[in-house]
Amino acid sequence: TTCGHIFHKKCLYIALKNSKTCPECRRPSGSNRVHPIFLNFGERTEMDLKWNESNASDAYANIPIWTPIYGLEWNGSQRVPQPPPEPDEAIQAGTDSEGNPTYVARGYFQDDLLPAGYVPSKGVAYASHGCHGYTLSENIELLNNFKHQWVADSNGHVPEGAVVGGYSETEEDLYIARAQYNDKILLGKVHPSHRVMYMPYNGIEVHTTEYEVLVQEKVTVQSVGETNNEA
């Protein structure tokens, strides 16, 4: 589940039929808010051996990790401002329509998991769906600052290594991207079958055919022994 608890798929789905909450902590959940975990019981490969002997911090620095944002509080009708994430905790990329820094995030909306722009100064994230821009204040996940680059693309295409930021209600992958609109760099989603990138702006969903896609850099896993030999 998005709150980090692990269950057998069949057992979890039975529980969710009775209550749309996590059986462990009772946070809001549902079948569209469950991520599968795939375990590999095959023989260990040469890459597995190198991984075990490698510097763990360097290896994990290249893994996209989504972390739920907890502690978002209300102050009357508004969210309490949050401090900006540390440089290694998030990817700052662009601003909202008012010029506030945004960070790569995602959030659940209806049956979709949407790439979004998290704004710490407001304690919310902005995403777009169905011609509208939405403010998300719950079930927001922040992407860590792994080794990445922004690669230009267009017309719904994404380059190799593009980071999946969510999915549509039809289970189509949505990719994290950014583009310029009205002199602002906005975060949004590439929807391949629609051949465009969508982004939220002042409560509406705008789109463009030219954008930059977030791409994971390829890193060769090197063992400690190999590093010492080179030295």
pLDDT mean across residues, the chain: 83
Q: Indicate whether 43 and 110 sit together in one domain.
A: no
Supply the DSSP symbol for 225: H
Report the CATH number that the domain containing residue 49 is assigned in CATH: 3.30.40
Contacts of 148 (CB under 8 A, 6+ apart): 91, 163, 214, 215, 216, 217
- Structural domain tally of the chain? 2
225 — pLDDT class (breaks 50, 70, 90): low
- Residue 228 resides in a domain: no
Do residues 134 and 43 both lie within one domain? Answer: no
What is the pLDDT confidence band of residue 73, given thresholds at 50, 70 and 90? low
| Predicted local distance difference test score (pLDDT) of residue 69 | 82
Range scoring the smallest mean pLDDT among 54-58, 100-104, 144-148, 176-180: 54-58
For 113-144, the pLDDT digits (tens) are 999 999 998 889 999 999 999 999 888 899 99
Assigned domain for 224 exists: no
Rg (CA), the chain: 19
89-119 residue pLDDT tens: 899 999 998 889 999 999 989 889 999 999 9
Based on the fold, state whether residues 81 and 27 are members of the same structural domain: no
In a domain, 79, yes or no: yes
Same domain? 32 vs 118: no
At 71, the pLDDT band (50, 70, 90 cuts) reads: low
Confidence of residue 67 (pLDDT cuts 50, 70, 90): confident
Using the 3D structure, point to which of 20, 45, 60 is the last residue of a domain.
60
Question: In the listed set 18, 41, 60, which residue is the last one of a domain according to the structure?
Answer: 60
47 and 95 share one domain: no
Residue 120 lies in a domain: yes
- Average pLDDT on 151-171 reads 95
Whether residue 231 lies inside any domain: the answer is no
Per the structure, the complete domain to which residue 201 belongs is given by 66-216
Tokens linked to 83: 């401090």
Q: Are residues 121 and 154 in the same domain?
A: yes
Can you tell me the mean pLDDT for 59-70?
A: 75
88 within domain boundaries: yes
């407001």: which residue's tokens? 122
Question: Percentage of the chain with pLDDT > 70?
Answer: 74
Contacts of 153 (CB under 8 A, 6+ apart): 159, 177, 190, 211, 212, 213
pLDDT at residue 39 is higher than 70 = no
| Phi/psi of residue 198, nearest 5 degrees | -105, 150
Among the ranges given (9-23, 49-63, 113-127), the one the predictor scored with the smallest mean pLDDT: 49-63
C-alpha pair distances (Å), 123 with each of 15, 55, 127? 31, 35, 14
Structure token digits, residue 138: 């719950």
pLDDT band at 148 (very low <50, low <70, confident <90, very high): very high
Residues 38 and 140 in one domain: no
Give bridge partners of residue 205 from the DSSP assignment: 200
Identify whether residues 73 and 43 lie together within a single domain: no
Residue 45 domain-assigned? yes
| Whether residue 102 sits in one domain with residue 56 | no
Residue 39 lies inside a defined structural domain of this protein: yes
Q: What is the residue type of 52?
A: N
Q: For residues 24 and 136, state if they share a domain.
A: no
pLDDT at 62 over 60: yes
